[in-house]
Amino acid sequence: MSDSSSDPLPFTQLDRTVKAKAAILAGAMGVSSQHAVGSLLVFWDLNGDPRELEKIVEQGKDAVVLTAAQVALRFQIASGKETSPDLLAEIGFLEPLDGGLFRVRGMSRYFKPITRRIQARAAASLGGKVTAAKLKRSGGKFVAEEPAGAPAGESLEHPLKRKPADEPSDDQA
């Protein structure tokens, strides 16, 4: 499998312990277990938008925290059913916090690839700045400066692409 996708979250992981809790949720919602599992997956996907998660990580946080109204709306979008945030918390899909807020449980696995993406982007940016600092503009083009210790006039081309010298070097004589 290739890592070339630009999506840091190309799939949704479902912990096997969710199935038992989903059966309890299904009974409370009056739907099948499959409907409840699918609803949870869509709910986590709604809360796992990579752009939103990046904003959370950049704020130094590692949790998706929602108001009761946000939970109710997003779960209704995901399931097609009205479901109380308190019910989701009682079953264990949400963690109640002070001030009527809820932490969405099961989202921690979403933050690892987002954090790696932000770190990779920062490293690439730094590398680009270092490279740009080594370049000088000559005739409208950026040209690498001669590295320290390089023989004067020696090309920075790949050694295999250099034209042969007219005379052998000292090592070859």
Write the pLDDT tens digit of every residue in 21-45.
999 999 999 999 999 999 999 999 9
Rounded CA separation 157/47 (Å): 50
Helices (H), 98-143: 108-134
Rounded CA separation 118/77 (Å): 29
Which one of 13-27, 63-77, 117-131 scores highest in mean pLDDT? Answer: 63-77
> What's the chain's average pLDDT?
80
Rounded CA separation 161/159 (Å): 5
This prediction has a pTM of 0.65
